[in-house]
Amino acid sequence: MTGAGAGDGSGYLAVDSGGSGLRVVVGTVGRGPLARRASRVPVRTGVRGLEPGHLLEQLVPMARALAVEAGVTRLDTAVVGATGLASLGDAVRAELPGALARELGVRRVGLVADAVTAYVGALGPRPGAVVAAGTGLIALGTDLTGWRRADGWGHLLGDCGGGAWIGRAGLEAALRAHDRREGGSAGLLACAEEQFGPMPGLPGELYPRPDRPAVLASFAPQVAACAESDPVAAGILRAAARHMADSAAAVCPAAGEPHVAVTGGLLKLGDPLVVPLDEELTNRLPHARRVAAEGDPLHGSVRIATDLAAGALTLPSDGAMLYVSTAPGARFLGTDHF
């Protein structure tokens, strides 16, 4: 065995940075993940995009403590998967590899969009497509020569079929019922008033909120709860399933028998969404093999770090989605520095 962790005391650092904070793992190629910690502070976004300084403030102390806990003498490889990296990661790509080399002695750094870590966590390094469905929604596919992305454009311009999209559609149906317009749902109106209060006050409560997507998504479970007896709610979830299948079909390789998986918290809505989603995926992708997601984005970050450390990474590189930097002259730090 070659690469970090092959009996020489070196290890890898794997990070999942998202809206709820950081999750960090230290491990070795031979022994797998050995220690993990989490922070509930999300990395700040400023005028330069994701702030590398704020990421380092949290990550470096956690990495040093985890290396001690894991018995790793040096961190040879680091993989940082981050929400927003594809569009807001220029400063991180410019500064993080050098900073990790100085602070931790890291030689190889992989900077990875969260859609890629979700993909690898779900399918591993296999051709196929993954739909990551939570508050938002993005689909990613690869034939192992390049990446294809669909949606993930945010709740104002896209994320069609995601939690915020479902919640917004449910609240629109509630407002239609309040106004006595066609297409309304008395059941969704009752649920909306129970959760948010009288409907005339909803715009003033919702529009100024910086967490508007999360507020909209908080109504998605009510839509699912109404779907069994309410055709309007059932239609919203059917439309969401259709959007999800559209995105999967847009990125899925056409050749062979690619794997297709859906991952993310939206699946907790259960049968009212999952049943029509299975039907739509079968109709749109008859050549694909539907499989359950193996793991989450942190699992994906660990898999990428393991392969990168072992010199076995087969995923296609991409300046925005998966960027690998190697610093041969990085200074390794001894255990006393950790």
Q: pLDDT band for position 3 (50/70/90)?
A: low
CB 12 within 8 A of CB 104: no
Q: Which amino acid is at 185?
A: S
Q: 3-state class of 209 per DSSP?
A: coil
DSSP secondary structure code for residue 104 in this structure: H
* Helices 90-104 and 52-70, packing angle to 10 deg: 40
b/e 123-158 (16+ beta carbons within 10 angstroms → b): bbbebbbbbbbbbbbbbbbbbeeebebbbbeebeeb
| pLDDT confidence tier of residue 245, bands split at 50, 70 and 90 | very high
Q: Are 170 and 199 in contact (CB under 8 A)?
A: no
Q: Note the pTM of the prediction, 2 decimals.
A: 0.82
**Distance (Å, whole) CA 233 – CA 191:** 12
Q: Which two tokens stand for residue 46?
A: 């400023």
Give the separation between CA 236 and CA 143, rounded to whole angstroms.
32
What is the pLDDT confidence band of residue 152, given thresholds at 50, 70 and 90? Answer: confident
Residue 9 corresponds to which tokens in the numbers above?
A: 């005391």
The two structure tokens encoding residue 94: 């410019």
Mean per-residue pLDDT, 98-116: 93
- Residue % of the chain over a pLDDT of 90: 70
